[in-house]
Amino acid sequence: MDRDLVVRQPFLENTGYCHCCRSTVTFRSESDWLRDNYYCLQCRSIPRNRHLHLVLDAKFPGWESAEIHECSPVNDFTSRYAQRYTRSVYEAGIALGSICKGARCENVEAMTFRDESFDLFITEDVLEHVFRPDRAIAEIMRVLRPGGAHVFTAPKQKWITHTRQCAQLIDGEIKHLYEPQYHSAADGGRSLVTWEYGYDFELLLSEWAGDVPVETHRLMDRSKGIDAEFNEVFVIRKPCNGSLHAWNPRSFA
């Protein structure tokens, strides 16, 4: 048989419901590494995008009307539905709080937003690239309103017992503690991995957030295009009057 005539079969293909484009679609992956290759053929979302939006839809009904901020977004899956949405990116050399390339320039470790500015704060695979995740989490909790939540993804390594710092920033210089690792960045460049999170991740998150509970959502459901490694979605809710309360979309009116 002429090899040029052989039609390559996808590693995985199925139909289901996509929470990112809210449609019945076909999901397909040409690779066994589903995390970055199991696409929705309609909106090009990948598993962690879809899992995060499933959590938003299931746990935060009416979230579209909330005051939402997204740090370093690489897609429009949140902004296309949100009625009150802002986004930020960090650009070295740009004044914090100013507008850069259509987004606000912010350092998630030291933001310029006022206290209690948002109902929801969203990050996708950001925390493994910051030098001080403790400061980032504390800052996010500061800018959340009581009863609001940080909804996010970050790779939790199943083979690492204790979280480890991979790089430090000392006097403006990067000090590598392990062999440097990089992830692909939205602009086509590379992002340095500064932390690898292990089994103690939720304990650290709780400590950094002020000793509040951390929800970890795990799911494998190909009917929703959700199946991949490192696909947890984490939720940290800001207490209201000393206690956590149910999400109330009526308060957004």
Give me Rg for the CA atoms of the chain: 19
Band (pLDDT 50/70/90 cuts) for residue 1 is: very low
| Residue 214 forms part of a structural domain | yes
| Residue 30 forms part of a structural domain | no
Pick the residue with more confidence: 128 or 183?
Answer: 128
- The whole-number pLDDT of residue 107 equals 97
Please give the model's pTM, rounded to 2 decimal places: 0.92
Mean pLDDT of the 70-91 span: 95
Domain that holds residue 181: 47-252
Measured distance CA(118)–CA(142) in Å, rounded: 10
Mean pLDDT of the 192-211 span: 97
**pLDDT winner (highest mean) among 5-19, 179-193, 195-209:** 195-209
DSSP 94-143: SPTTSEETTEEE--TTS--SPTT-EEEEEEES-GGG-S-HHHHHHHHHHH
- The whole-number pLDDT of residue 186 equals 63
| pLDDT at residue 222 tops 80 | yes
- The whole-number pLDDT of residue 252 equals 58
| pLDDT at residue 251 tops 80 | no
- The whole-number pLDDT of residue 9 equals 75
Query: CA dist 98 to 74, 93, 101, 123, Å?
Result: 20, 11, 10, 20
- Tell me the pLDDT of the chain averaged across its residues: 92
| pLDDT at residue 5 tops 60 | no
| Residue 121 forms part of a structural domain | yes
| Residue 24 forms part of a structural domain | no
Measured distance CA(145)–CA(147) in Å, rounded: 6
| pLDDT at residue 197 tops 70 | yes
| Residue 216 forms part of a structural domain | yes
| Residue 136 forms part of a structural domain | yes
| Residue 25 forms part of a structural domain | no
- The whole-number pLDDT of residue 83 equals 96
DSSP 185-237: -TTSSEEE--EEB-TTHHHHHHHHTTS--EEEE---BGGGTB--TT--EEEEE
CB atoms within 10 A of CB 211: 8
- The whole-number pLDDT of residue 184 equals 77
Band (pLDDT 50/70/90 cuts) for residue 61 is: very high
- The 10s digit of each residue's pLDDT in 27-59 is 999 999 999 999 999 999 999 999 999 999 999
CATH number for position 211 = 3.40.50.150
Number of domains in the chain: 1
Tokens of 37: 């290759």
Mean pLDDT of the 123-148 span: 97
| Residue 2 forms part of a structural domain | no
